[in-house]
């Protein structure tokens, strides 16, 4: 027998956008049902397997000393990570469980018709009919589809966070953000890390000088980077895994596949609701995040946009405005969205690169200096981490910042200041003449922007 539940708003998936919508609307008295299929994903990908736990592990790895027992140290780091996740998961559950107008449902959701979902949990069935539906089921790690990519020593970005021991040799297939964060992390945990890059190098979007800065930092940490290495298969002889590539083989005790993510939509039966997907399985949305089905929105990673928690938070604002009659906003309102690669040191990025600006025909001047040579920025020397480069691209005619790459300690914070300056129309001259805390990484702006060329 299937029970029925009618509601104003149905949210499928407990991610950043969905949970924030549920709490905001529920607190205003709107009837909301939130469906989540996995108790270990309460609160969303970010707090459970991505942003927060991985950065906690990065922090732990940075604190390891050479004489620390590698396996014991990793075990303590994972225990600390798990404790943090449990606390965050409980807090996320509490923030919705205490809102009377929000009903939490555990089970697998599948559309059966227009704004109608059947939720299955064991032997129980619940049909939910809603006036409005918000899909926010996120993404999952994607396998490359090569022979052996499901072997016993092969991990994705989730499973590798719970290794029993530090692998003596770790091969990472991929050369993007996730690959480099884990490469930097496990090198500090004690692994000999090899990054297997399909193309000519890591971070293909970045300018050559920024990429070289990252390569130097990784290499000094003991990371080897194999380029032009198209993975063909992964063999396992019972003693070790071997990644066979077009550029040679890499023997390893563990392999991490950091080859992108895929939308978690397979179980939803989107076609039953008239919801279109693109060729990769992401839900197609317009600038207001509306799907092809009337009254249905898709938020967060599942809509194929930037896979960033703050973007998911902004998705909630776009949908909330439509559901409450608030000031309208859409995806085109997003300007200067900053990102960070949490290697050691991190790489903060916003706007265009120098190459992109010149390809666009912009007249630009550029300020770029290695962190180790920036006299006005003593903080890196004070904490003993002087790898990196500070680079800003400035419009030669308007003096406005067009983009920045900050490969330095504190980059995840300073990049937000630069992004705000770009959104607010603050000029490079104003940033150069700013009075900043001393000693801080922000002080680099005083020196780097004084030497634009």
Confirm whether pTM is higher than 0.75: yes
- Residues of the chain above pLDDT 70, percent: 100
Give the confidence band of 2 by pLDDT, cuts at 50, 70, 90.
Answer: confident
List, for residues 87-127, the tens digit of each pLDDT value. 999 999 999 999 999 999 999 999 999 999 999 998 899 99
How far is residue 407 from each of residues 221, 346, 401, measured CA to CA in Å? 15, 6, 17
Same domain for 95 and 53: yes
Annotated active-site residue 155? The verdict is no
Radius of gyration from C-alpha coordinates of the chain: 23
Q: Give the chain's domain count.
A: 3
Prior bond of 345 cis (ω within 30°) = yes
In sequence order, what DSSP letters do the residues of 184-238 get, joined into one string? HHHHHHT-EEEEE-SSSSS-TTS-HHHHHHHHHHHHHTT-EEE-S--EEEEEE-S
Domain boundary among 318, 333, 348: 333
Same domain for 116 and 72: yes
Average pLDDT, integer, range 279-304? 98
| Long-range Cβ contacts of 278-283 (<8 Å, 24+ apart) | 278/304, 280/304, 283/135
Domain boundary among 219, 238, 259: 259
User: Which domain range does residue 419 map to?
Assistant: 339-451
Domain boundary among 203, 229, 259: 259
Same domain for 269 and 132: yes
> Which pLDDT belongs to residue 1?
66
Helix, strand, coil % over all residues of the chain, rounded to 5: 35, 25, 40
| CA proximity to 8, closest of 134, 130, 119 | 130
Give the confidence band of 312 by pLDDT, cuts at 50, 70, 90.
Answer: very high
The answer to whether 291 touches 283, Cβ cutoff 8 Å, is: yes
CA distance 364 to 358: 7
Same domain for 253 and 161: yes
List, for residues 349-389, the tens digit of each pLDDT value. 999 999 999 999 999 999 999 999 999 999 999 999 999 99
Same domain for 391 and 415: yes
In sequence order, what DSSP letters do the residues of 340-353 get, joined into one string? EE-SSS-EEEEE--
Same domain for 159 and 47: no
147 domain residue, yes or no: no
Same domain for 167 and 51: no
CATH number for 102: 3.50.50.60
List, for residues 130-143, the tens digit of each pLDDT value. 999 999 999 999 99
Same domain for 27 and 53: yes
Same domain for 80 and 164: no
List, for residues 162-179, the tens digit of each pLDDT value. 999 999 999 999 999 999
In the set 93, 228, 407, 438, the catalytic residue is 438
């Amino acid at each position: 027998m299937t029970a029925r539940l009618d509601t104003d708003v149905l949210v499928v998936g407990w991610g950043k956008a969905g949970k924030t919508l549920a709490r905001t609307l529920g607190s205003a008295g709107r009837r909301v049902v939130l469906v989540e299929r996995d108790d270990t994903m309460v609160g969303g990908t970010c707090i459970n397997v991505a942003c927060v736990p991985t950065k906690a592990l990065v922090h732990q790895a940075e604190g390891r000393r050479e004489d620390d027992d590698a396996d014991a140290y990793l075990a303590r780091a994972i225990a600390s990570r798990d404790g943090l996740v449990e606390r965050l998961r409980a807090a996320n559950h509490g923030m919705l469980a205490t809102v009377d107008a929000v009903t939490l449902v555990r089970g697998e959701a599948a559309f059966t018709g227009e704004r109608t979902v059947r939720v299955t949990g064991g032997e129980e069935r619940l049909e939910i009919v809603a006036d409005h539906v918000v899909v926010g089921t996120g993404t999952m790690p994607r396998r490359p589809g090569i022979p052996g990519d499901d072997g016993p020593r092969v991990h994705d970005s989730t499973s590798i966070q719970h290794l029993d021991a530090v692998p003596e040799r770790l091969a990472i297939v991929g050369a993007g953000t996730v690959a480099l964060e884990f490469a930097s992390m496990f090198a500090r945990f004690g692994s000999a890390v090899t990054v297997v890059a399909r193309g000519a190098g890591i971070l293909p979007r970045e300018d050559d000088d920024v990429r070289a800065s990252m390569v130097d930092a990784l290499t000094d940490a003991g990371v080897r980077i194999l380029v032009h290495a198209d993975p063909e298969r992964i063999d396992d002889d019972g003693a070790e895994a071997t990644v066979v590539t077009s550029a040679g083989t890499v023997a390893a005790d563990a392999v991490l596949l950091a080859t992108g993510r895929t939308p978690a939509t397979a179980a939803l039966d989107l076609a039953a609701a008239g919801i279109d997907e693109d060729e990769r399985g992401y839900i197609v949305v317009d600038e207001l995040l509306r799907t092809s089905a009337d009254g249905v929105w898709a938020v967060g990673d599942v809509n194929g946009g930037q896979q960033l928690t703050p973007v998911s938070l902004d998705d909630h604002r776009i949908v909330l405005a439509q559901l409450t009659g608030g000031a309208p906003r859409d995806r085109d309102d997003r300007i200067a969205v900053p990102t960070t690669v949490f290697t050691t040191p991190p790489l903060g990025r916003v706007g265009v690169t120098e190459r992109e600006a010149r390809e666009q025909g912009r007249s630009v001047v550029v300020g770029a200096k290695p962190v180790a040579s920036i006299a006005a920025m003593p903080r890196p020397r004070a904490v003993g981490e002087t790898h990196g480069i500070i680079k800003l691209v400035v419009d030669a005619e308007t003096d406005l910042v067009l983009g920045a790459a900050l490969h330095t300690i504190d980059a995840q914070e300073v990049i937000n200041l630069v992004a705000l300056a770009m959104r607010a129309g603050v000029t490079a001259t104003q940033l150069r003449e700013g009075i900043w805390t001393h000693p801080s990484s922000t002080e680099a702006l005083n020196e780097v922007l004084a030497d634009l060329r």
